[in-house]
Structure 1
Amino acid sequence: MTINTVGNLVQLNEKYHSIALDIAYAGSNNFTGKPIYKSDVSYIHSEALECLLKAIELLKPLNLRLKVWDAFRPMAAQEILFNHMPDPNYVGNPRTGLCPHCRGVAVDLTITDRYGRELEMGTLFDDFRPLAHHGNDLVSEEAQRNRLLLAGVMNVAGFKPMDTEWWHYQLPDLVKYPIISKDDTPEGII
Protein backbone atom coordinates (compact mmCIF):
# COMPACT_ATOMS: atom_id res chain seq x y z
CA MET A 1 0.00 0.00 0.00
CA THR A 2 1.31 3.45 -0.88
CA ILE A 3 0.33 6.91 0.29
CA ASN A 4 -1.78 8.76 -2.27
CA THR A 5 -0.88 12.33 -3.15
CA VAL A 6 -2.70 14.89 -5.28
CA GLY A 7 -0.73 18.08 -5.82
CA ASN A 8 0.27 19.31 -2.34
CA LEU A 9 -2.29 17.08 -0.64
CA VAL A 10 -1.28 13.83 1.03
CA GLN A 11 -3.76 11.16 2.06
CA LEU A 12 -3.91 10.56 5.79
CA ASN A 13 -3.51 6.87 6.52
CA GLU A 14 -3.69 5.08 9.88
CA LYS A 15 -1.07 2.56 8.80
CA TYR A 16 1.57 5.11 7.85
CA HIS A 17 0.78 8.03 10.15
CA SER A 18 0.08 6.43 13.55
CA ILE A 19 -3.24 8.25 14.01
CA ALA A 20 -6.86 7.26 14.29
CA LEU A 21 -9.24 8.49 11.60
CA ASP A 22 -12.95 9.06 12.24
CA ILE A 23 -13.92 11.40 9.42
CA ALA A 24 -17.06 13.03 10.80
CA TYR A 25 -18.49 14.36 7.55
CA ALA A 26 -18.30 10.98 5.82
CA GLY A 27 -21.19 9.76 7.97
CA SER A 28 -24.33 11.18 9.50
CA ASN A 29 -22.87 11.62 12.99
CA ASN A 30 -22.12 15.32 12.51
CA PHE A 31 -23.97 18.58 13.12
CA THR A 32 -25.81 18.39 9.76
CA GLY A 33 -27.13 14.89 10.49
CA LYS A 34 -26.15 13.65 7.01
CA PRO A 35 -23.01 12.60 5.13
CA ILE A 36 -21.24 15.46 3.36
CA TYR A 37 -18.33 13.45 1.92
CA LYS A 38 -18.71 10.41 -0.33
CA SER A 39 -15.98 8.51 1.51
CA ASP A 40 -13.90 8.60 4.66
CA VAL A 41 -10.68 9.23 2.75
CA SER A 42 -8.96 12.32 4.15
CA TYR A 43 -6.16 14.50 2.80
CA ILE A 44 -3.97 17.22 4.29
CA HIS A 45 -1.44 19.66 2.83
CA SER A 46 2.08 18.20 2.91
CA GLU A 47 3.36 21.06 5.13
CA ALA A 48 0.51 20.51 7.60
CA LEU A 49 1.29 16.78 7.57
CA GLU A 50 4.88 17.53 8.62
CA CYS A 51 3.55 19.43 11.63
CA LEU A 52 0.99 16.72 12.40
CA LEU A 53 3.77 14.13 12.42
CA LYS A 54 5.65 16.26 14.97
CA ALA A 55 2.54 16.34 17.18
CA ILE A 56 2.23 12.54 16.90
CA GLU A 57 5.84 12.13 18.06
CA LEU A 58 5.33 14.51 20.99
CA LEU A 59 2.42 12.39 22.28
CA LYS A 60 4.12 9.00 21.89
CA PRO A 61 6.09 9.09 25.19
CA LEU A 62 2.77 9.72 26.98
CA ASN A 63 1.12 6.69 25.28
CA LEU A 64 -1.36 9.05 23.64
CA ARG A 65 -2.50 9.36 20.03
CA LEU A 66 -4.33 11.80 17.82
CA LYS A 67 -7.77 11.11 16.38
CA VAL A 68 -8.62 13.15 13.27
CA TRP A 69 -12.20 14.12 12.44
CA ASP A 70 -11.50 16.37 9.44
CA ALA A 71 -8.65 17.87 7.45
CA PHE A 72 -8.87 19.03 3.81
CA ARG A 73 -12.41 20.06 2.95
CA PRO A 74 -13.53 20.79 -0.61
CA MET A 75 -15.16 24.19 -1.12
CA ALA A 76 -18.46 22.51 -2.05
CA ALA A 77 -18.50 20.85 1.38
CA GLN A 78 -17.59 24.14 3.05
CA GLU A 79 -20.60 25.76 1.41
CA ILE A 80 -22.92 22.99 2.65
CA LEU A 81 -21.58 23.30 6.20
CA PHE A 82 -21.79 27.11 6.21
CA ASN A 83 -25.35 27.04 4.86
CA HIS A 84 -26.26 24.70 7.72
CA MET A 85 -24.41 26.80 10.36
CA PRO A 86 -23.91 30.33 8.96
CA ASP A 87 -21.80 31.57 11.88
CA PRO A 88 -18.21 32.40 10.86
CA ASN A 89 -17.14 32.04 14.49
CA TYR A 90 -17.52 28.28 13.96
CA VAL A 91 -17.76 27.56 10.22
CA GLY A 92 -15.75 29.61 7.74
CA ASN A 93 -17.78 31.62 5.27
CA PRO A 94 -16.78 30.36 1.81
CA ARG A 95 -17.37 33.83 0.37
CA THR A 96 -14.62 35.39 2.52
CA GLY A 97 -11.98 33.13 1.02
CA LEU A 98 -10.31 32.38 4.37
CA CYS A 99 -11.42 28.73 4.78
CA PRO A 100 -8.28 27.00 6.14
CA HIS A 101 -9.77 23.53 5.63
CA CYS A 102 -10.23 24.32 1.91
CA ARG A 103 -6.50 25.06 1.72
CA GLY A 104 -5.65 21.71 3.32
CA VAL A 105 -3.85 23.36 6.24
CA ALA A 106 -6.40 22.82 9.01
CA VAL A 107 -7.17 19.73 11.04
CA ASP A 108 -9.95 18.92 13.52
CA LEU A 109 -8.77 16.41 16.08
CA THR A 110 -8.59 15.19 19.65
CA ILE A 111 -6.34 13.03 21.80
CA THR A 112 -7.00 9.39 22.67
CA ASP A 113 -5.43 7.10 25.21
CA ARG A 114 -3.55 3.97 24.15
CA TYR A 115 -6.86 2.07 24.00
CA GLY A 116 -8.42 4.56 21.58
CA ARG A 117 -10.67 6.26 24.14
CA GLU A 118 -11.00 10.00 23.65
CA LEU A 119 -9.72 12.15 26.48
CA GLU A 120 -12.32 14.33 28.20
CA MET A 121 -12.45 17.72 26.50
CA GLY A 122 -15.60 19.18 28.03
CA THR A 123 -17.69 19.13 24.86
CA LEU A 124 -18.11 16.97 21.82
CA PHE A 125 -16.63 17.84 18.43
CA ASP A 126 -18.56 20.57 16.56
CA ASP A 127 -20.19 21.94 19.70
CA PHE A 128 -20.99 25.52 18.69
CA ARG A 129 -21.29 27.04 22.14
CA PRO A 130 -18.91 29.14 24.24
CA LEU A 131 -18.27 25.99 26.28
CA ALA A 132 -16.10 24.76 23.36
CA HIS A 133 -13.92 27.89 23.35
CA HIS A 134 -10.29 27.67 24.42
CA GLY A 135 -9.86 28.91 27.96
CA ASN A 136 -13.46 28.29 29.02
CA ASP A 137 -13.22 27.51 32.72
CA LEU A 138 -16.76 26.10 32.96
CA VAL A 139 -15.51 22.70 31.77
CA SER A 140 -13.99 20.29 34.27
CA GLU A 141 -10.38 20.65 35.41
CA GLU A 142 -9.61 17.40 33.60
CA ALA A 143 -11.03 18.80 30.36
CA GLN A 144 -9.08 22.03 30.84
CA ARG A 145 -5.84 20.06 31.32
CA ASN A 146 -6.54 17.92 28.26
CA ARG A 147 -7.32 20.96 26.12
CA LEU A 148 -4.09 22.58 27.29
CA LEU A 149 -2.16 19.41 26.46
CA LEU A 150 -3.64 19.36 22.95
CA ALA A 151 -3.00 23.08 22.48
CA GLY A 152 0.58 22.79 23.71
CA VAL A 153 1.42 19.81 21.52
CA MET A 154 -0.15 21.38 18.44
CA ASN A 155 1.54 24.74 19.09
CA VAL A 156 4.98 23.16 19.50
CA ALA A 157 4.32 21.18 16.29
CA GLY A 158 3.65 24.41 14.35
CA PHE A 159 -0.13 24.84 14.41
CA LYS A 160 -2.20 27.67 15.83
CA PRO A 161 -5.64 27.26 17.41
CA MET A 162 -9.01 28.70 16.52
CA ASP A 163 -10.28 30.46 19.67
CA THR A 164 -13.85 29.17 19.40
CA GLU A 165 -13.09 25.47 18.78
CA TRP A 166 -10.79 23.44 21.04
CA TRP A 167 -10.44 20.79 18.28
CA HIS A 168 -9.43 23.07 15.35
CA TYR A 169 -5.78 23.77 14.51
CA GLN A 170 -4.27 25.32 11.39
CA LEU A 171 -0.99 26.47 9.97
CA PRO A 172 -0.25 30.18 10.37
CA ASP A 173 -0.02 32.49 7.33
CA LEU A 174 -3.12 31.16 5.56
CA VAL A 175 -2.67 33.40 2.53
CA LYS A 176 0.53 31.50 1.76
CA TYR A 177 -1.62 28.48 0.85
CA PRO A 178 -4.14 28.80 -1.98
CA ILE A 179 -7.60 27.30 -1.79
CA ILE A 180 -7.57 23.90 -3.49
CA SER A 181 -9.65 24.20 -6.65
CA LYS A 182 -12.34 21.74 -7.66
CA ASP A 183 -10.05 20.50 -10.44
CA ASP A 184 -7.27 19.78 -7.91
CA THR A 185 -9.54 18.08 -5.36
CA PRO A 186 -8.85 14.36 -4.99
CA GLU A 187 -11.54 12.20 -6.55
CA GLY A 188 -14.14 10.51 -4.41
CA ILE A 189 -14.34 13.02 -1.55
CA ILE A 190 -17.45 14.89 -2.64
Structure 2
Amino acid sequence: MAFTFLTRLPKSISLLSIAVILTGNVYADSSDDKRSEFVDVGALLPNAVLDIRYFGHHNFVGKPVDGYNAPKCLLHNSAATALKKVQVAAQTQGLSLKIYDCYRPQRAVDHFVRWVNDLEDTRTKAEFYPNLGKDKLLGDYIAAKSGHSRGSTIDLTLVDAKGNELDMGSPFDMFDTLSNTDDPRISAEQKANRYKLKSLMTEAGFAPYSMEWWHFTYKPQAYPATYFDFVVE
Protein backbone atom coordinates (compact mmCIF):
# COMPACT_ATOMS: atom_id res chain seq x y z
CA MET A 1 0.00 0.00 0.00
CA ALA A 2 2.78 2.45 0.88
CA PHE A 3 4.52 1.80 -2.46
CA THR A 4 1.31 2.39 -4.41
CA PHE A 5 0.76 5.64 -2.53
CA LEU A 6 4.25 6.90 -3.31
CA THR A 7 4.05 6.09 -7.01
CA ARG A 8 0.97 8.26 -7.33
CA LEU A 9 2.59 11.35 -5.84
CA PRO A 10 3.32 14.26 -8.21
CA LYS A 11 6.93 14.36 -9.41
CA SER A 12 7.29 17.83 -7.89
CA ILE A 13 7.10 16.41 -4.35
CA SER A 14 10.57 15.93 -2.89
CA LEU A 15 11.85 13.05 -0.79
CA LEU A 16 11.80 15.39 2.22
CA SER A 17 8.11 16.07 1.61
CA ILE A 18 7.46 12.34 1.41
CA ALA A 19 9.20 11.90 4.77
CA VAL A 20 6.95 14.56 6.27
CA ILE A 21 3.83 12.88 4.90
CA LEU A 22 4.83 9.47 6.22
CA THR A 23 6.35 10.42 9.59
CA GLY A 24 5.28 13.96 10.41
CA ASN A 25 8.91 14.86 11.08
CA VAL A 26 11.13 17.25 9.18
CA TYR A 27 14.87 16.58 9.18
CA ALA A 28 16.60 19.93 8.63
CA ASP A 29 20.23 19.92 7.54
CA SER A 30 22.98 22.46 8.17
CA SER A 31 21.84 24.67 5.30
CA ASP A 32 18.47 25.34 6.90
CA ASP A 33 17.79 29.08 7.05
CA LYS A 34 16.16 28.83 10.49
CA ARG A 35 19.63 28.91 12.08
CA SER A 36 19.33 32.70 12.28
CA GLU A 37 16.47 32.30 14.77
CA PHE A 38 18.77 30.65 17.32
CA VAL A 39 20.39 32.69 20.10
CA ASP A 40 23.72 32.28 21.89
CA VAL A 41 22.44 32.04 25.48
CA GLY A 42 25.90 32.67 26.93
CA ALA A 43 25.88 36.13 25.39
CA LEU A 44 22.27 36.74 26.42
CA LEU A 45 22.81 35.57 30.02
CA PRO A 46 26.42 36.44 30.89
CA ASN A 47 25.90 35.54 34.56
CA ALA A 48 24.69 32.02 33.86
CA VAL A 49 27.23 29.20 34.26
CA LEU A 50 27.86 27.11 31.14
CA ASP A 51 29.02 23.51 31.59
CA ILE A 52 28.28 22.13 28.13
CA ARG A 53 28.97 18.49 28.83
CA TYR A 54 28.84 17.09 25.30
CA PHE A 55 31.62 19.41 24.14
CA GLY A 56 34.08 17.70 26.49
CA HIS A 57 34.81 14.28 27.96
CA HIS A 58 32.69 14.42 31.15
CA ASN A 59 29.53 12.82 29.77
CA PHE A 60 28.05 9.34 29.43
CA VAL A 61 29.72 8.82 26.02
CA GLY A 62 33.09 9.59 27.62
CA LYS A 63 34.33 11.89 24.85
CA PRO A 64 33.26 14.95 22.81
CA VAL A 65 30.04 14.32 20.94
CA ASP A 66 29.56 14.89 17.21
CA GLY A 67 28.22 18.33 16.35
CA TYR A 68 29.59 20.21 19.38
CA ASN A 69 32.35 22.39 17.94
CA ALA A 70 32.11 24.95 20.76
CA PRO A 71 30.94 24.92 24.41
CA LYS A 72 27.89 27.03 23.62
CA CYS A 73 24.22 26.96 24.55
CA LEU A 74 22.04 27.74 21.55
CA LEU A 75 18.26 28.05 21.82
CA HIS A 76 15.47 29.29 19.60
CA ASN A 77 14.93 32.95 20.43
CA SER A 78 11.50 32.27 21.96
CA ALA A 79 12.96 29.80 24.47
CA ALA A 80 16.01 31.98 25.10
CA THR A 81 13.82 34.98 25.92
CA ALA A 82 11.86 32.89 28.42
CA LEU A 83 15.08 31.56 29.95
CA LYS A 84 16.24 35.10 30.58
CA LYS A 85 13.17 35.56 32.78
CA VAL A 86 14.16 32.44 34.71
CA GLN A 87 17.66 33.77 35.31
CA VAL A 88 16.33 37.10 36.56
CA ALA A 89 13.94 35.33 38.94
CA ALA A 90 16.70 33.01 40.18
CA GLN A 91 19.00 35.94 40.90
CA THR A 92 16.37 37.52 43.15
CA GLN A 93 16.81 34.39 45.31
CA GLY A 94 20.59 34.62 45.30
CA LEU A 95 20.87 31.83 42.74
CA SER A 96 21.91 31.42 39.13
CA LEU A 97 21.39 28.94 36.31
CA LYS A 98 23.98 26.33 35.40
CA ILE A 99 23.40 24.96 31.91
CA TYR A 100 24.48 21.53 30.69
CA ASP A 101 22.89 21.26 27.24
CA CYS A 102 20.58 23.20 24.95
CA TYR A 103 20.11 22.76 21.21
CA ARG A 104 21.50 19.36 20.20
CA PRO A 105 22.27 18.59 16.54
CA GLN A 106 20.71 15.44 15.10
CA ARG A 107 24.22 14.13 14.40
CA ALA A 108 24.85 14.23 18.18
CA VAL A 109 21.72 12.18 18.78
CA ASP A 110 22.94 9.71 16.15
CA HIS A 111 26.23 9.52 18.08
CA PHE A 112 24.31 8.67 21.27
CA VAL A 113 22.48 5.85 19.47
CA ARG A 114 25.73 4.39 18.12
CA TRP A 115 27.17 4.54 21.63
CA VAL A 116 24.20 2.83 23.27
CA ASN A 117 24.34 0.04 20.69
CA ASP A 118 28.03 -0.60 21.44
CA LEU A 119 27.41 -2.87 24.42
CA GLU A 120 31.11 -3.48 25.00
CA ASP A 121 31.81 0.17 25.84
CA THR A 122 30.85 0.51 29.51
CA ARG A 123 33.56 2.92 30.64
CA THR A 124 31.07 5.42 32.09
CA LYS A 125 28.66 2.95 33.68
CA ALA A 126 29.68 3.58 37.30
CA GLU A 127 28.83 7.28 37.09
CA PHE A 128 25.97 7.48 34.63
CA TYR A 129 24.01 4.20 34.65
CA PRO A 130 25.18 2.14 37.65
CA ASN A 131 21.94 0.19 38.10
CA LEU A 132 20.92 -0.43 34.48
CA GLY A 133 22.27 -2.53 31.66
CA LYS A 134 23.29 -0.44 28.68
CA ASP A 135 20.72 -2.29 26.59
CA LYS A 136 17.99 -0.73 28.75
CA LEU A 137 18.89 2.90 27.99
CA LEU A 138 17.37 3.28 24.52
CA GLY A 139 13.85 4.67 24.86
CA ASP A 140 13.15 6.59 28.06
CA TYR A 141 16.71 7.88 28.46
CA ILE A 142 18.22 7.93 24.98
CA ALA A 143 16.01 8.43 21.94
CA ALA A 144 16.72 8.29 18.21
CA LYS A 145 15.04 11.69 17.91
CA SER A 146 15.37 14.33 20.63
CA GLY A 147 13.36 17.42 21.45
CA HIS A 148 16.70 19.12 22.03
CA SER A 149 17.17 19.16 18.25
CA ARG A 150 14.25 21.58 17.94
CA GLY A 151 15.94 24.32 19.95
CA SER A 152 13.36 24.65 22.73
CA THR A 153 14.65 22.10 25.27
CA ILE A 154 17.33 22.68 27.89
CA ASP A 155 19.11 20.70 30.63
CA LEU A 156 20.14 22.75 33.65
CA THR A 157 20.38 23.16 37.40
CA LEU A 158 20.78 25.92 40.02
CA VAL A 159 23.93 27.18 41.73
CA ASP A 160 24.36 29.41 44.77
CA ALA A 161 26.25 32.70 44.95
CA LYS A 162 29.56 30.80 45.22
CA GLY A 163 28.82 28.71 42.16
CA ASN A 164 28.04 25.55 44.11
CA GLU A 165 25.32 23.35 42.64
CA LEU A 166 22.25 22.86 44.80
CA ASP A 167 21.92 19.27 45.97
CA MET A 168 19.41 17.65 43.61
CA GLY A 169 19.87 14.08 44.82
CA SER A 170 21.43 12.76 41.61
CA PRO A 171 23.89 14.17 39.10
CA PHE A 172 23.03 15.39 35.62
CA ASP A 173 22.50 12.58 33.11
CA MET A 174 22.31 9.83 35.70
CA PHE A 175 20.13 7.22 34.02
CA ASP A 176 18.22 5.91 37.00
CA THR A 177 14.82 6.32 38.62
CA LEU A 178 16.66 8.34 41.28
CA SER A 179 16.65 11.16 38.72
CA ASN A 180 12.85 11.14 38.52
CA THR A 181 11.64 14.45 39.93
CA ASP A 182 9.52 12.79 42.61
CA ASP A 183 11.62 9.74 43.39
CA PRO A 184 10.77 8.81 47.01
CA ARG A 185 14.39 8.12 47.97
CA ILE A 186 15.55 11.74 47.85
CA SER A 187 15.67 13.87 50.99
CA ALA A 188 13.29 16.71 51.80
CA GLU A 189 16.03 19.23 50.98
CA GLN A 190 16.80 17.60 47.64
CA LYS A 191 13.12 17.55 46.73
CA ALA A 192 12.77 21.21 47.71
CA ASN A 193 15.70 22.09 45.46
CA ARG A 194 14.22 20.18 42.54
CA TYR A 195 10.92 21.95 43.02
CA LYS A 196 12.64 25.31 43.27
CA LEU A 197 14.10 24.73 39.81
CA LYS A 198 10.82 23.32 38.53
CA SER A 199 8.87 26.32 39.81
CA LEU A 200 11.24 28.84 38.26
CA MET A 201 11.07 27.07 34.90
CA THR A 202 7.32 26.41 34.78
CA GLU A 203 6.52 29.99 35.72
CA ALA A 204 8.41 31.08 32.59
CA GLY A 205 6.55 28.64 30.33
CA PHE A 206 8.81 25.58 30.41
CA ALA A 207 7.34 22.10 30.84
CA PRO A 208 9.23 19.55 32.99
CA TYR A 209 10.06 15.94 32.14
CA SER A 210 9.21 13.80 35.15
CA MET A 211 11.98 11.24 34.53
CA GLU A 212 14.79 13.84 34.56
CA TRP A 213 14.71 16.68 37.07
CA TRP A 214 17.07 18.78 34.86
CA HIS A 215 15.09 18.58 31.59
CA PHE A 216 12.62 21.28 30.48
CA THR A 217 10.96 22.26 27.19
CA TYR A 218 9.56 25.68 26.36
CA LYS A 219 5.95 25.53 25.16
CA PRO A 220 4.76 26.07 22.57
CA GLN A 221 7.81 24.90 20.63
CA ALA A 222 8.67 27.01 17.59
CA TYR A 223 9.26 23.92 15.43
CA PRO A 224 7.48 21.00 17.11
CA ALA A 225 8.00 18.55 14.21
CA THR A 226 11.53 19.51 13.14
CA TYR A 227 14.96 18.12 14.00
CA PHE A 228 17.81 20.49 13.10
CA ASP A 229 21.37 19.36 12.38
CA PHE A 230 23.54 22.46 12.14
CA VAL A 231 26.60 22.22 14.39
CA VAL A 232 27.07 24.14 17.63
CA GLU A 233 29.83 26.66 16.93
Scaled by the length of structure 2, what TM-score is found?
Answer: 0.71
> How far off its partner does 1:84 sit?
2.6
Structure 1 portions without partners, runs of 5+: none
Secondary structure of the 2:155 match is: strand
Q: Over residues 126-169 of structure 1, what are the superposed CA-to-partner deviations in whole Å (9 max), with x where a residue is unaligned?
A: 00000000111201211111001001110001100111110000
Which stretches in structure 2 are left out of the alignment for 5+ residues?
A: 1-33, 117-136
| C-alpha separation in 2, matches of 1:16 and 1:150 | 17
Tell me the amino acid that sits aligned with residue 119 of structure 1: L
Contact 1:14 1:21 in 2 (8 A): no
1:91 corresponds, among 136, 142, 161, to 142
The code of the aligned residue for 1:159 comes to: F
Alignment partner for residue 85 of structure 2, among 47, 54, 78? 54
Deviations 1:20-76 (A, max 9, x none): 101000110001111112321221110110111111111111110000000000000
Query: Match of 2:106?
Result: 75
Amino acid at match of 1:149: K
Identity of aligned residues (%): 30
Q: Which amino acid aligns with 2:201?
A: M
CA–CA distance in 1 between the matches of 2:58 and 2:232?
23
Question: What root-mean-square deviation, in Å, do the aligned CA atoms of Structure 1 and Structure 2 show?
Answer: 2.0
List 4+ stretches of structure 1 deviating above 3 A. Answer: 14-17, 173-178
Among 137, 145, 164, which residue is 1:117 paired with? 164
How far, CA to CA, are the matches of 1:181 and 1:124 in structure 2?
Answer: 27
Q: Which residue of 2 aligns with 1:181?
A: 228
Q: Are the equivalent residues in 2 in contact too, given 1:134–1:165 (CA < 8 A)?
A: yes
Greater RCO (Cα-Cα under 8 Å, separation 6 or more):
2
